[in-house]
A and B are shown apart, each in its own frame.
Chain A
Amino acid sequence: MISLQVQNNQSFRLDEIPFLDKHKFTDSVAEGLTNGYRMIGLFPLHKNMPHKIISALVDSDAASLHLIGGEFQKDKLEFESLANQFPQTNYFECELAENYGFIPINHPWIRPVRKQSTVLGNKPYQFYKLEGPEVHEVAVGPIHAGIIEPGHFRFQCHGELVYHLEINLGYQHRGIESLILDASTNQRVILSESIAGDTVVGHTFAHCSTIESLAGTQISLRAQVIRSIVEELERIAMHLSGLGGVANDIGLAIVASSYGRLRTLAINSLAEISGSRFGRGLFVYGGVRYDFNDENIRQITNKLEVVKNDSAVINNFLFSSTGALTRFEHTGTVSKDFAQQIGLVGVVARSSGIESDTRIHFPYGAYRYFPVSLITLPSGDVFARARLRALEIDESLRFIFEQLENLPGGEIKINVGSIAPCSGVISIVEGWRGEIVHTAITDEVGNIVQYKIKDPSFNNWYGMNLALRETAISDFPVINKSFDLSYAGHDL
Chain B
Amino acid sequence: MIDAIKLRILQGDPIIHDVRNVSLPKLFRGLPTIERVACPDDCKKCVEACPTNAIKLNPVSIDLGLCVFCPLCEEACPEKIIHFTNDYHIAAESREKLIVTKETKTISAEKASKEIKNYFGRSLKLRQISAGGCNGCELELNALSNVNFDMGRYGIEFVASPRHADGVVITGPLTRNMTKAIEICYEAVPKPKIIVLVGTCSISGGIFQNSKEIQRNFLEENKIDLFIPGCPPHPLTFINGLLDWLDRK
Neighbouring B residues of A281 by C-beta, 8 Å = 29, 69-71
Task: Give chain B's interface residue range (CB within 8 Å of chain A).
Answer: 35 or more
In angstroms, how far is the closest chain B Cβ from the Cβ of A23?
36
Partner of B207, one of A170, A191, A274: A191
Closest to B144 in A: A147
**Do A317 and B29 touch (CB < 8 A)?**
no
In angstroms, how far is the closest chain B Cβ from the Cβ of A307?
12
Per-residue CB contact flags for chain B residues 115-139 toward chain A (1 = under 8 Å, else 0) read: 0000000000000111111111111
Neighbouring B residues of A172 by C-beta, 8 Å = 130, 132-134, 172, 175, 177-178
- What separation, in Å, do the CA atoms of A194 and B137 have in the docked complex? 11
Closest to A115 in B: B177
- What separation, in Å, do the CA atoms of A174 and B185 have in the docked complex? 21
- What separation, in Å, do the CA atoms of A174 and B172 have in the docked complex? 10
Neighbouring A residues of B7 by C-beta, 8 Å = 254-255, 258, 313-314, 317
Neighbouring A residues of B210 by C-beta, 8 Å = 179, 182
Per-residue CB contact flags for chain A residues 278-322 toward chain B (1 = under 8 Å, else 0) read: 101100000001100000000100000000001001100100000
**Do A197 and B135 touch (CB < 8 A)?**
yes
**Which residues of A from 234 to 252 have beta carbons under 8 Å from B?**
241
- The answer to whether A149 has its CB under 8 Å from any CB of chain B is yes
- The answer to whether B28 has its CB under 8 Å from any CB of chain A is yes
Partner of B51, one of A145, A186, A289: A186
- The answer to whether A276 has its CB under 8 Å from any CB of chain B is yes
Closest to B133 in A: A149
- The answer to whether B79 has its CB under 8 Å from any CB of chain A is no
**Do B51 and A187 touch (CB < 8 A)?**
yes
- What separation, in Å, do the CA atoms of A186 and B173 have in the docked complex? 19
**Do B142 and A147 touch (CB < 8 A)?**
yes
- The answer to whether B6 has its CB under 8 Å from any CB of chain A is yes
**Which residues of A from 168 to 188 have beta carbons under 8 Å from B?**
170-175, 178-179, 182, 184, 186-187
- What separation, in Å, do the CA atoms of A187 and B132 have in the docked complex? 18
- The answer to whether B58 has its CB under 8 Å from any CB of chain A is no
In angstroms, how far is the closest chain A Cβ from the Cβ of B11?
6
**Which residues of B from 101 to 156 have beta carbons under 8 Å from A?**
128-143, 146-148
**Which residues of A from 246 to 279 have beta carbons under 8 Å from B?**
254-255, 257-258, 260-261, 263-264, 268, 271-278
- The answer to whether A423 has its CB under 8 Å from any CB of chain B is no
- What separation, in Å, do the CA atoms of A189 and B214 have in the docked complex? 20
**Do A195 and B134 touch (CB < 8 A)?**
yes
Closest to B71 in A: A281
- What separation, in Å, do the CA atoms of A191 and B70 have in the docked complex? 12
- The answer to whether A156 has its CB under 8 Å from any CB of chain B is no
**Which residues of A from 126 to 142 have beta carbons under 8 Å from B?**
142
Most buried by A among B11, B24, B213: B213
The 5 closest A-B pairs by CB, nearest first: A197-B136, A275-B27, A197-B134, A145-B160, A260-B146
Residues of A within 8 A of B (CB): 114, 116, 142-143, 145-150, 170-175, 178-179, 182, 184, 186-187, 189-191, 194-198, 200, 241, 254-255, 257-258, 260-261, 263-264, 268, 271-278, 280-281, 289-290, 299, 310, 313-314, 317, 486-488
Residues of B within 8 A of A (CB): 3-4, 6-8, 10-11, 14, 24-25, 27-29, 49-52, 68-72, 84, 128-143, 146-148, 158, 160-161, 172-173, 175-178, 181, 185, 201, 207-208, 210-214, 231-232, 234
* Cross-chain pairs A/B with CB under 8 angstroms, 16 sampled: A145-B160, A148-B138, A150-B130, A174-B208, A197-B133, A257-B147, A261-B14, A264-B14, A264-B146, A264-B148, A274-B27, A275-B28, A275-B71, A281-B69, A281-B70, A313-B6
